[in-house]
Chains A and B, each alone.
Chain A
Amino acid sequence: MDAEAKVQRLQRRAQLAACSALNRLRHSSRFVLTSSTFRLALLYMLLVGVSVAILLGFIYWSTAGYMARQTDATIGAEIQGLAEQYRRRGLAGLSTLIAERIARDPQGASVYLLTDPEGEPIIGNLASWPAVEPDAEGWVQFLARQPTTDAPMSGYATRAKVFRLRGGLRLLVGRDVRELVAIRELILDALAWGLAITVGLALLGGWLMSASIVRRLDGINQVSREIMQGDLTRRVPRRGTGDDFDQLAENLNRMLERIETLMVSIRQVSDNIAHDLRTPLSRLRHRLELLRGESMTEEARAEVDVAIADADELLSAFNALLRIARIEAGSRRAAFADLDPLTLLEDVAELYEPLATESTQQIQVETEVTSAPRGSDGSPCHLYADRDLLFQALANLVDNAIKHTPSGGQIRLQAACTGQGVELSVTDDGPGIPEALRAKVLQRFFRIEESRAAPGHGLGLSLVQAVAQLHGAELKLEDAEPGLRVRLRLPKRPMPS
């Protein structure tokens, strides 16, 4: 039973692996076919094909064509000779000569036919006048039939020339060109094969070449995508051969390094500003506090109170900024401990419940436990986390939910415990966040236009993200249809970052 299950699992895994490999292949082959490199290779192949075809055409012309021209020249010369004989010795002389030549050639490689003006054969080794009409120069090509030989062949390729003699006689002289045709076919065959092989090799070469280029470009694309998703520490891999792709990779990496340095320094500058301005700002606040103690009119005191409140707002923004920076910079896990996520959620809900009730909203806490191994304290669901930071993150989320959900809204705090870890989520039924802005709202100081009037600095979600990062957790903003759901997927025990 157990072994069977194992085999099934292995089979399933193999299937999956094969499937993914096939998909990858399909994906990569589509990639190769649409790649510019492959198109370039195709163009190159076309060019090579055309030049090879021209070259082969020339070879054909200079071999098979030469032989054909030789044959034509021989036939022409023989007709000249026979016509000369006729002029000198008349019909009898010509007939004798033709007869002699026929006798000398028992294989019938040469073909002769002499007819009278009515077309009746006078002498010759051809049974009848060819049915094909000769061209303007008298050349004719046909399948000859020989009465004199008892060869079983029904006919063979013959090339001949027809010549009119004085007195209305017609003379046909031809040559058996079977061999020539065979050689020509042989050459054509060879040329066609040569062309096919050339094209095939060019295609294969183009494919291989573009596949290797596409693979390297794919690597660069992959890294670019990961970087765009926020992992700025990724670098383009290099092969180490120092070729142009390596140079490209090196340049890209240098560019990335520069971008990273700039981004870090921007962050550092803002953190430094916050840090450096915090001290004078707190002094200002101290002075205002001292001033408030002095004897002054009620109006003046109210003004001082407003000034203190303004200073407090600035200080709290700076503090939040520095807190995010500290959480991001540190892998401080000293305060990590085992805790019960449900208690945490209930505490958050309890703290914010009066605030929600004020704006006639409801807060609910729900838990869902799926086959989770029990924690050290025996509770079915437990977390290893920084209690205060996690509380802060959840408080920020609930605070946002209360701010952005219209009255009568529902805010749900959920904890789902699985074997892999704990998923905490805060869901509201407010207007939600448009998908295009979901990554942006995590940036420092970013605020959606509609919520600019609400109090806050645009740092709440940045802090949530920093806390998530510290915990090795996945932070996701989703559409709750309607509303916003923020999921925080915490691993059982975060790996040291």
Chain B
Amino acid sequence: MGIPMRVLVIEDDPQLSAYLVKAFGEMGATVDQAENGRDGLFLAAGNSYDVMVVDRMLPELDGLAIIRTLRASGDQTPVLILSALGEVDHRVEGLRAGGDDYLVKPFAFSELHARIDALMRRASPGEATPTRLSVADLELDLLKREVHRAGRPIALQPREFKLLEYLMRHAGQVVTRTMLLENVWDYHFDPQTNVIDVHISRLRAKIDKDFEQPLLQTVRGAGYMLRAD
């Protein structure tokens, strides 16, 4: 990205806020921060940001109220909600208010990073809904539901197809295990074992095994990435 990303962090916990500012700074982003809801809304309305990270429970003005106000005024900036409330109905409330993603505290920064990347990608305009996805010599046809690598057909189970589709849509980004569970399996739950890893290694065996260049990579401490380099 040529232009530095502009991020707004509305978070009342000073330590977490400082940490987020530092982490985003290291990513090369410009960060604005607010410690209460009123200041946050003021900043959000007066500037244009690439993405906003909003705590759900804030002094003076509730995080969900900020998002509703912004959405009502036509502001479509991607918003990620942070919250200590993690049950499914809390999540549904957050997304209904206009949030684009919902992350439960405490979280790993890699998780936040991956999700913000995904949000940014979704927000970037210009791409019509594709019918084909491709990464290097790997091609996925969404209409025919076929996968080819270097022209050779690869047979995938329906779930493996969905998994690959998600990874290809987020090619070049870190995708966390939780993101996969939520988006590919559509369940919000906490697996006690690394179930996802086994699925990934199966998929890897199908798409990477007989080829020189591995595409599906493990990002330590974070998740996975499909990448062409």
Contact = CB atoms under 8 A, between A and B. Distances in A.
Contact of B110 (A289, A315, A347): A289
Interface string A320-347: 1001001000101011000000000001
Given A335-B89, A354-B202, A347 B185 contact: yes
A358 interface: yes
Nearest to A400: B192
Nearest to B193: A399
A253 B220 CA distance: 56
Contact of A292 (B92, B159, B192, B221): B221
The A interface is mostly helix, strand or loop, or mixed, namely helix
B192 A456 contact: yes
Contact of B88 (A278, A281, A316, A335): A335
- Give the contact-size bracket for chain B: 20 to 34
Given A305-B221, A354-B202, A335 B87 contact: yes
A88 interface: no
Interface stretch (B18-26, B65-73, B167-175): B18-26
From B87, B92, B105, residue with most partner A Cβ within 10 Å = B87
A281 B92 contact: no
B89 A396 contact: no
B190 interface: yes
B198 A355 contact: yes
A305 B187 contact: no
Interface string A459-475: 01000000000000000
Given A283-B19, A289-B109, A305-B221, A332 B191 contact: no
Contacts of A460: 192
Interface stretch (A41-49, A238-246, A383-391): A383-391
A286 B11 CA distance: 16
Contacts of B199: 351, 354
A326 B87 contact: yes
Contacts of B198: 354-355, 358
Contacts of B106: 278-279, 281-282, 285, 315
B189 A391 contact: yes
Given A326-B87, A332-B89, A354-B202, A399 B189 contact: no
A350 B159 contact: yes
A106 interface: no
A355 B195 contact: yes
Contacts of A287: 19
A389 B193 CA distance: 17
Contact of A355 (B13, B107, B193): B193
Interface string B40-77: 00000000000000000000000000000000000000
A19 to B, nearest CB: 48
B92 to A, nearest CB: 7
A290 B221 contact: no
Interface string A348-363: 0011101100100000
A388 B88 contact: yes
Contacts of B190: 316, 319-320, 323, 392
Interface string B1-42: 000000000000101100100110010000000000000000
Nearest to A286: B19
Nearest to B203: A354
Given A283-B19, A289-B110, A386-B88, A396 B192 contact: yes
A392 to B, nearest CB: 4
Nearest to A356: B198
B108 to A, nearest CB: 6
A289 B221 CA distance: 9
B188 interface: yes
A177 interface: no
Contacts of B109: 286, 289-290
Contacts of B16: 283, 286
B103 to A, nearest CB: 12
Interface in B94-116: 105-110
B107 A282 contact: yes
A392 B19 contact: no
A351 B188 contact: no
Given A335-B89, A354-B198, A355-B198, A285 B108 contact: yes
Contacts of A320: 190
A250 B92 CA distance: 47
Nearest to A396: B192
B221 A395 contact: no
Interface string B178-194: 00000001011111110
Nearest to A319: B190
Contacts of B92: 334-335
A318 B198 CA distance: 25
Interface of B: 13, 15-16, 19, 22-23, 26, 86-89, 92, 105-110, 159, 185, 187-193, 195, 198-199, 202, 220-221
13 contacts: A286-B16, A289-B108, A315-B106, A319-B190, A332-B87, A351-B185, A351-B191, A351-B195, A354-B199, A391-B189, A392-B187, A392-B189, A399-B191
5 nearest CB pairs, A to B: A282-B106, A334-B89, A354-B198, A392-B189, A335-B88
Given A290-B19, A330-B87, A354-B199, 19 more contacts: A279-B106, A282-B107, A283-B16, A289-B110, A290-B22, A290-B26, A293-B26, A305-B220, A316-B190, A319-B190, A335-B88, A335-B89, A354-B202, A358-B198, A388-B88, A391-B187, A392-B190, A399-B191, A399-B192
